[in-house]
Amino acid sequence: MTDQAYNFAYLDEQTKRMIRRAILKGLAVPGYQVPFASREMPMPYGWGTGGVQVSAATLTPEDTFKVIDQGADDTTNAVSIRKFFEKTAGVKTTEETEKATVIQTRHRIPETPLSEDQVLVYQVPIPEPLRFLEPRETETRKMHSLEEYGLMHVKLYEDISQHGAIATSYAYPVKAEGRYVMDPSPIPKFDNPKMADCPAIQLFGAGREQRIYALPPYCQVVSLDFEDHPFDPSKAEHPCNLCGAEDSYLDEVITDDAGGRMFVCSDTDYCRARREAGHVGAQAAAMEEGANA
């Protein structure tokens, strides 16, 4: 039940309209950062104010909403944003990727492939991929408009010269539709290939920086690289300890101070669904054996 003190999804209708305009423009020019009049939200900058505004402008009363934070549905950021929209929009919420129509995410793309009737909303801290190479915004805008992206490769060059390989492991720069270089938000580079040719709409909101950008469905997204150092979507070389998945992105969890550690799926919904379907990882198997003995 929506709290009557709030307009649907917290923001007023004029603001949502302004944000939708920015989203449409962003979809029309994939990867281009559209300025928008970001509002104060009842949460601090850096906690997803951009994503929340994009979600608010995207949600309809019929939607089912899911929020993940680093892949998990049950972490502080995810729980509080989910509750925020439960209260202000009264929409149904879920933890299951397939059932959601709008998914707000912080730093992950769900493992379950997305479909055409879904919208993925990213929270973006720094939308400008060239920021740390060229601090002047006037200059980076010019570089985008003139397609001068040599500097982006200088960063990758520096990585190789220092580490022997491209060491950038998250927020790995991509080029959308062969034109704009964009920051995919700090998702692990493991997730980069999922952005390409994705049936779902992908929207990116940066609240503090007041920028929205977007990728329309089935958009071409290429991770930048060198001919002799091609892009490599790496992950930890382990299966998940709980569900045994070998194709999912893993979190490393330190379990004691004697070097004990375990690897578990960062996508909690994916891991749960696999375990319910009967998949068993190394640790879960060991625990079962212990119980039987």
Partner 1 sequence: MTPLLQVSDISKFYGVRLGCRDVSFDLFPGEVMGIVGESGSGKSTLLGCLAGQLAPDTGEVLFDTRAEGPHDTLTMSEPERRMLARTDWAFVQQHAREGLRMGVSAGGNVGERLMAVGARHYGDIRDQALDWLGRVEISEDRMDDKPTAFSGGMQQRLQIARNLVTGPRLVFMDEPTGGLDVSVQARLLDLLRGLVREMGLSAIIVTHDLAVVRLLADRLMVMKDGHVVETGLTDQVLDDPQHGYTQLLVSSVLQV
Catalogue the active-site residues.
31, 240, 243, 265, 271
* 236 touches partner 1 (CB under 8 A): no
Residues facing 291 on adjacent strands: none
* 158 touches partner 1 (CB under 8 A): yes
* 162 touches partner 1 (CB under 8 A): yes
Complex with partner 1: residue 218 or 226, whichever CB lies closer? 226
Count of residues engaged in binding partner 1, rule: CB under 8 A: 16
Nearest distance in Å: CB 187, partner 1: 24
* 153 touches partner 1 (CB under 8 A): yes
Nearest distance in Å: CB 163, partner 1: 11
* 227 touches partner 1 (CB under 8 A): yes
Categorise residue 48: left if φ over 0, alpha if ψ from -120 to 50, beta otherwise.
left
* 148 touches partner 1 (CB under 8 A): yes
* 262 touches partner 1 (CB under 8 A): no
Residues 8, 45, 157, 170: which binds partner 1 (CB under 8 A)? Answer: 157
Chain length of the chain: 293
Complex with partner 1: residue 82 or 189, whichever CB lies closer? 189
Q: In what order do the strands lie in the sheet with 64-69?
A: 34-35, 211-215, 201-206, 119-123, 102-106, 64-69, 92-93
* 161 touches partner 1 (CB under 8 A): yes
How far is Cα 194 from Cα 94, in angstroms, rounded to an integer? 22
Return the range that interacts with partner 1 (CB under 8 A); candidates 35-43, 55-63, 150-158, 203-211: 150-158
Complex with partner 1: residue 29 or 262, whichever CB lies closer? 29
How far is Cα 285 from Cα 293, in angstroms, rounded to an integer? 12
* 277 touches partner 1 (CB under 8 A): no
Burial of 257 (C-beta count, 10 Å sphere; 0-12/13-18/19+)? exposed
Q: 33 near 128, Cβ under 8 Å?
A: yes
* 62 touches partner 1 (CB under 8 A): no
* Two tokens, residue 103: 């998914």
* Two tokens, residue 197: 């040719």
Backbone angles phi, psi at 287, to 5 degrees: -65, -40
* 226 touches partner 1 (CB under 8 A): yes
How far is Cα 77 from Cα 210, in angstroms, rounded to an integer? 20
Residues 24, 28, 37, 154: which binds partner 1 (CB under 8 A)? Answer: 154
In sequence order, which residues have a C-beta less than 8 Å from that of residue 287 and are 6 or more positions away?
Answer: none
Complex with partner 1: residue 4 or 162, whichever CB lies closer? 162
Nearest to 279 by CA among 249, 239, 243: 243
Residues 21, 25, 87, 229: which binds partner 1 (CB under 8 A)? Answer: 229
Return the range that interacts with partner 1 (CB under 8 A); candidates 21-29, 168-176, 223-231, 269-277: 223-231
* 96 touches partner 1 (CB under 8 A): no
Nearest to 77 by CA among 118, 49, 41, 96: 49
How far is Cα 171 from Cα 155, in angstroms, rounded to an integer? 13
Instruction: Provide the binding-site residues for partner 1, judged by CB under 8 A.
Output: 133, 146, 148, 150-151, 153-154, 157-158, 160-162, 226-229
